[in-house]
Every structure is written in C-alpha cells, then in structure tokens.
Amino acid sequence: MNNTYILILYYSTHGATEKMAQQLARGVELSGMEARLRTVPKISAEIEAVAPSVPDTGAVYCSNDDLKDCSGLLLGSPTRFGNMAAPLKYFLDSTSSQWLNGDLIDKPAAVFTSTGSLHGGQESTLLSMMLPLLHHGMIITGLPYSEPSLMTTKTGGTPYGASHLAGSKSNNALSDDEIQHCQALGKRVATIAKNMLAAKK
Ligand SMILES: Cc1cc2nc3c(=O)[nH]c(=O)nc-3n(C[C@H](O)[C@H](O)[C@H](O)COP(=O)(O)O)c2cc1C
C-alpha cells in the first residue's frame, strides 16, 4: 500500500478550480511528497445517465482506495450558491465506509474554492467543505497570516483556505497572490502529513 501521497480531490466545470488544484500539487511536490490529482463525475438530472468510467480529459475519478490510503487531503470545489458543488457533495455522501472504518481520522486536510464574484461566498463554501471532513475526523488546516498577501490581496485568499476570483466568465488567470496561497496550502498539508508519518515510525 502506498501511503505517502496527498490526495487533491476537486470538481471543476470550467477549469478554474482545476487550475488551483495544479498549483496546490506544485506546493505538495515542493515539500517532497507525491500529489495525486483526482476528480469526481458530474451528476445528471437524468437518473439513468452514466458517465464513462474514465473521463475524456483531466484527472481520473477518485476511487475508494485513493481516498482511504491518502496521507492528507486537499478538497476543492467551485462555489455554487455559496456552497460546494453537488457532484462533490454527492461523492462525499458515498464515503460512509471510510467513515465507519475511520480511514481519515487524524489526517490533515485543507480546502479551496473558485468563485465568479469577489463576495459571492468563498468563505461559506470553504466552511461547507470542512463539515464532512470534520465528521471524518480529519485535522483541518487553514492558511495562516504568515502569508503576508492575505492582508493585501485584491483577488482571492482567505485564512479558511485558498480561493480564486475567476470572474463572471470563469476565465481570470490565477493572480500571483492566488498562486502563492495555493502552493503554500499544498506545502502546508504535505509538510504536516510528512511530520505525522515520521512521528508514527
Ligand atoms: C449553479 C451555479 C451557481 C453559482 N453560484 C455562485 C455563487 O454563489 N457565488 C459566486 O461568486 N459564483 C457562483 N457561481 C460561479 C462559479 O463559482 C465560478 O464560475 C467558478 O469559478 C467555476 O469554477 P470552475 O471553473 O472550476 O467550474 C456559480 C455558478 C453556477 C453554475
């Protein structure tokens, strides 16, 4: 069993959250750990619709083992009405067996989001993603103000997690501050996970 990767689990329709996930992965790798990027399928109003088992582009879908065996988790979603997107919530609602087994207890986790508007619910979405992770017994790590640009950013950036102001067409590039926050958060979760693994040896 490979137990030394950080799972970056995200949903993204237009690619903004995915761009954040890639920067978080850089941060994880800068700390010397493997980053495993995984996504979840869309859900359909047509109850019989079934997604292909492998997506046409981008990250592959997250398996039970990807989640169970991670050493830390970075969870990301676009903001949908101030909340996480339904496909990610749907996936999380299928994690009862990991909850019953306590697979995620005492593992570090952090969250990230992308919005259309600056005050459209970044913090509330980040908090909404923390709730199921707390039920799983994960140790939530935010982004501390030792990141100086948290005080000055004109785009995304919160102490609750990394955020991105994608704009109304979801096509803003990540700002320098947002890139810095994503990398710092990835690095933080990976470093904590590494220290916890070392302490167990
Ligand atoms: C159904 C729906 C609800 C949305 N709700 C919000 C919202 O509450 N606040 C906001 O700022 N943006 C909202 N948006 C915009 C998305 O959060 C934004 O476009 C985001 O960057 C998309 O990320 P993605 O490119 O990873 O799909 C909403 C978009 C959709 C489709």
Query: What CATH number has the domain bearing residue 26?
Result: 3.40.50.360
Residue 163's alpha-carbon distances to 4, 88, 89, 115, in angstroms, are 26, 17, 18, 8
Q: What is the pLDDT of residue 44?
A: 81
Nearest CA to ligand 1 atom 8: 81
- pLDDT tens digits for the chain (201 residues)? 456 999 999 999 999 999 999 999 999 999 999 999 999 999 887 766 677 778 888 899 999 999 999 999 999 999 999 999 999 999 999 999 999 999 999 999 999 999 999 999 999 999 999 999 999 999 999 999 999 999 999 999 999 999 999 999 989 999 999 999 999 999 999 999 999 999 988
Structure tokens at 163: 């955020």
- Cα(199) to centroid of ligand 1, in Å? 40
Tally the domains of the chain: 1
* Centroid of ligand 1 to alpha carbon of 79 (angstroms): 5
How far is residue 129's CA from residue 134's CA, in Å, rounded to a whole number? 9
Q: What is the pLDDT of residue 151?
A: 97
How far apart CA 98 and CA 71 sit, in angstroms, is: 14
Distance 14 CA to ligand 1 centre (A): 9
Domain hosting 195: range is 5-200
Question: For position 1, what pLDDT does the model report?
Answer: 44
Vertex 2: Cα angle to 185 and 188 (nearest 5): 10
102 burial type by CB count under 10 A (0-12 exposed, 13-18 middle, 19+ buried): exposed
Q: What is the pTM of this model?
A: 0.96
Q: Which residues line ligand 1 (CB under 6 A)?
A: 12-18, 78-82, 114-117, 120-121, 166, 170
How many A from CA of 115 to the centre of ligand 1?
A: 5
